[in-house]
Structure 1
Amino acid sequence: MSEVFYIDLLIQNDDFLLNTGQEPELCNNRQSIGQDIVHAILESGLATELIAERSPTLRADIFTRLELLVEGDERIVPGTVTVSEESRSRLWVTAETEAFGVISAGVML
């Protein structure tokens, strides 16, 4: 197992995941980076813009902005980010991290 560099509280269904002792579960490294990417996308407002936009050209622009947002994370290798639309209510983000390989994360819009 690799060394732990990033530690975060694990969030599922927009809430902290609690263990049997009602204490927050922790996540680290790959899972933490993926979770940070999802939150960055949601907090940026780009997901909301994507829902509202119908023009294919302007939607493509939003996807490019999403990729640039994710690439702005220092833990991500630039040029490796792919953002695709799984459905009208879910995005799929794939990127390569500097230290932990490829990660994938789903973003519910």
Structure 2
Amino acid sequence: MNGPLEWIAAIGTMLAAGLIAADIGRRATGYGFILFCAVSITWIVSGLTSDAIPIVAMNAILLLINAWGVWQYLLSRKNREVMERVEPVEKEIEEEVEEQMEEESPAN
């Protein structure tokens, strides 16, 4: 298990995790989950071809979890409508919190 397929899956996994951890918006997080789905499939194929059944089992479950993430962040009509209402005030709230934190932090 050290071929190009595994390297693609490993790099894709790191990129997907970075997209989600960056917290740069709902759409980017959804794309991170799509990438996680793609690399889960890649890991499943790799595991099947190299008889690594634990990798296959783990990524089959992760594929389901990540597909749920795609649903939550990109496909759910209810969640999209909620976020459309939240987004206009989100930046204002973030600025207020940053200002509050600056006021609370001790002078350097």
TM score, norm. by length of structure 2: 0.32
Q: Greater strand share, 1 or 2?
A: 1
Q: Greater helix share, 1 or 2?
A: 2
TM score, norm. by length of structure 1: 0.31
Greater relative CO (CA pairs within 8 A, separation 6+)? 2
Structure with higher Rg: it is: 2
